[in-house]
Structure 1
Amino acid sequence: MSDTRSQLKQIAIEQIRRRTLHAASFRELGKVAGIKSSSVHYHFENRDALLLELVKDYEQDFFIRLEQRCHELSDPGQQLQQLAALFLLSQQSQYQCLCLAFAAAGDETNDQQRAAVEQFLQRLETWISAVLARAADHADSAPQLARVILSALEGALLLDRDQPQAPRLNAVSQWLTTLIRSHSDQQPETL
């Protein structure tokens, strides 16, 4: 991938995550990159193709980071904490979830983009559900609870966007701590 193409994608991601989907127009991307908007067309067929590529890249990058954080963790509570930590890092950078920006854009997105966002959300719900299923207390309700957790994280990230202390995200993170007792708490005491 060319340096300019990579730079344009990075600018688009930052513009969307800091502002809205509207901020990723070819004119705006060219302006920020210091090139003509017609030059942006050289790198991407059209804006829809760029946006679809961004969602797919975001999903891949998100799960790479999540797996790196959870690679050596077997405790479901710790794994959920690492998920919450990713959301807190976004908030500290004043970023929203890229997929949340797409979801908020409504009719501005096309069917392929909406399907890619839904794929990301379902994949994350499946990951959360698998983590919850390993916790005996939540195995039966894991899929439904996974949706609640994802909704709480996404909503808190949006509501805390300009808050220096992230009160809602921190509340969700603390709730996740109490939701699943660590494996050591579940182990029977030995004499």
Structure 2
Amino acid sequence: MNTPSPVRSQILDHAVTLIMLRGYNGFSYRDLSNLVGIKTASIHYYFPSKDDLVLEAVSSYSDEVLSSMNAIGDTLPADAKLSKYTKLFGKTLGDGDQICLCGMLAADIESLPDDIRQAVQAFFKANERWLTKVLMQGVEEGTLAINGKPENAARALFAAYQGSVLASRLFKTKARLEDVETTVKVVR
């Protein structure tokens, strides 16, 4: 089994953070070299191009987020699942200065190569599929209320989550994120 190089992992970790803070066009290998303490040529050894690095960052980030989503217990009621999902988005905000990596890249979509665009789209679709299942469960249980088809509601809800992290960053508050969850919960 190949163990990733600590330097490669540091480069990738810093790249993820920089993308979440600044987007695709907001960082360079020079920024990474300063953060990791290596020459830019060393970064090219691990990631020959910025596109290679960003694609790996999307893959790593997606794997982590989707794994966290899938770890939300199947036996929980839908409203509890949605609360846990909201907390995942809250973790993304960190200190309130970063947003979802794939949401940030979606804003840069016109400057992204096709393979990164497809990876970002796959992340969005995976979240929307998961939310569709949760919304359908919630309607059946009576814990969540939606208008229209669950697939459409899931897309709208995911868009609301993505927008809420932008607004939360802008206003330096997680309240915007928490507001999204309450829009689909049934009041008892």
User: Which one-letter code corresponds to 2:93 in the other structure?
Assistant: Q
TM-score normalised to the size of structure 1?
0.86
Aligned residue number for residue 131 of structure 2: 128
Rounded to whole Å, the distance in 2 between the matches of 1:28 and 1:108 is 20
Answer yes or no: is 1:174 the counterpart of 2:177: no
Aligned residue number for residue 79 of structure 1: 81
Aligned residue number for residue 11 of structure 2: 8
* Further displaced range: 127-136 or 5-14: 127-136
- Number of residue pairs aligned between Structure 1 and Structure 2: 179
Q: Which is greater in Rg?
A: 1
Helix, strand or coil at the partner of 1:96 = coil
Measured after TM superposition, the shift of residue 116 of structure 1 is: 0.4
Aligned residue number for residue 92 of structure 2: 90
**Identity across the alignment (%):** 27
Rounded to whole Å, the distance in 1 between the matches of 2:26 and 2:8 is 17
User: Which one-letter code corresponds to 2:12 in the other structure?
Assistant: K
Aligned residue number for residue 63 of structure 1: 66
Check 1:72–1:143 CA distance in 2 against 1; reply closer, same or farther (3 A cut): closer
1:14-33 alignment, distance < 5 Å:
14-33=17-36
| Maintained 8 Å contact 1:11/1:32 | yes
Task: Point out where structure 1 has 5 or more consecutive residues left out of the alignment.
Answer: 186-191
| Maintained 8 Å contact 1:81/1:177 | no
Measured after TM superposition, the shift of residue 99 of structure 1 is: 0.3
Match of 1:152 among 152, 160, 173: 160
Q: Deviations over 1:106-139 (max 9, x none)?
A: 3221000000000010011000001112222659
| Maintained 8 Å contact 1:73/1:79 | no
Helix, strand or coil at the partner of 2:184 = helix
* Further displaced range: 54-63 or 84-93: 84-93
| Maintained 8 Å contact 2:146/2:184 | no
* Further displaced range: 86-95 or 98-107: 86-95
Rounded to whole Å, the distance in 1 between the matches of 2:43 and 2:149 is 47
Q: Deviations over 1:141-183 (max 9, x none)?
A: 11000001000000010111143332321211222333xx6xx
Match of 1:46 among 45, 49, 59: 49
User: Which one-letter code corresponds to 1:75 in the other structure?
Assistant: P
CA RMSD across the alignment: 1.9
Task: Point out where structure 2 has 5 or more consecutive residues left out of the alignment.
Answer: none
Rounded to whole Å, the distance in 1 between the matches of 2:61 and 2:92 is 13
User: Which one-letter code corresponds to 1:153 in the other structure?
Assistant: Y
Rounded to whole Å, the distance in 1 between the matches of 2:36 and 2:121 is 30
User: Which one-letter code corresponds to 1:127 in the other structure?
Assistant: W
Rounded to whole Å, the distance in 2 between the matches of 1:71 and 1:139 is 25
Rounded to whole Å, the distance in 2 between the matches of 1:105 and 1:166 is 24
| Maintained 8 Å contact 1:81/1:176 | no
Measured after TM superposition, the shift of residue 20 of structure 1 is: 2.1
TM-score normalised to the size of structure 2?
0.87
